[in-house]
Amino acid sequence: MSDAYPELTATARRLRQHIIRMVGAAGSGHPGGSLSAVEIVTALYFKVMRLDPSRPDWPERDRFVLSKGHAAPVLYAALAEKGFFPVDDLLTLRRLGSPLQGHPDRKALPGVEVSTGSLGHGLAVANGMALAGRLDGRDYRVYVLLGDGELQEGMVWEGAMAAAHYHLDNLTAIVDHNHLQIDGRVEDVMSPEPVADKFRAFGWETKTIDGHAFGQILDALAWAREVKGRPAVIIAETVKGKGVSFMENEAGWHGKAPGPEQVEKALAELA
């Protein structure tokens, strides 16, 4: 995390604190893949995307699809910090009756574009949004965040093929390439490598970056906006559990909540 972007760095720290607090309070959730995506989501919501929290259905807004829907805590943290709903509501994560469900529900929470959680669907839905924007003559952009374990789903590659076929240059995919999934290393479970070469073969422009460096993230998002005639994908190399020492690069923290003492330790590290 670079000091060249102090406001984004401070926001990213708050998002990480929110993730730890809400998952700890819920006693369940997915901290590892939420923490790995913090810089990506921070850059999008607080620097890049055109949004109006007072009008979550504003037709000209940019769209964000969290295809790896289990990372809902990072999305909720960003939406709350952006002003879509009160920050205090974050501690209702996964409670009965709360709009902050374990996976995002677009009918329950303002700012959520797509109900996700069934892995592999996000890119196809993002394709539809991008096509709709073109047909409606609107200039919004669509961003979709995929997990690297999610790339094992065949529907991702059907979506990749369709996006290139329809020349969706208003679509940017970002792969949170943290190399871990619930059962261990992605490469050991079912390797999707070489990821960049695969997307390139499907007709995408590709760029690989450090997914925790704001300068590289912002440069890549600016690069993607300049790509014409085809979709762009950013392969963001990240660390699962980033920012919390005992969670980093540990597959066991994919879907496990920290206990009270672990919450305290994590927040101390993130202070």
Residue spans per domain, the chain: 6-270
Q: What are the phi and psi torsion angles at 166 (to 5°)? A: -95, 10
Residue holding tokens 């940017």? 172
Per DSSP (E only), the strands in the chain are 63-66, 142-147, 171-177, 180-181, 184-185, 205-210, 232-237
Judged against a pLDDT cut of 60, whether residue 228 lies above it is answered with yes
Confidence of residue 2 (pLDDT cuts 50, 70, 90): very low
Q: What are the phi and psi torsion angles at 3 (to 5°)? A: -75, -10
Is the separation of the CB atoms in 251 and 240 below 8 Å? Answer: yes
3-state class of 5 per DSSP?
Answer: coil
Tokens representing 49? 């995307």
What is the CA 97 to chain-centroid distance, rounded?
24
Q: Nearest to residue 123, comparing CAs of 80, 79, 153, 97?
A: 153
* Tens-digit pLDDT profile for residues 122-175: 999 999 999 999 999 999 999 999 999 999 999 999 999 999 999 999 999 999
Class of 6-270 per CATH? alpha beta
Q: How far apart are CA 266 and CA 82, in angstroms?
A: 23
Judged against a pLDDT cut of 50, whether residue 194 lies above it is answered with yes
Confidence of residue 189 (pLDDT cuts 50, 70, 90): very high
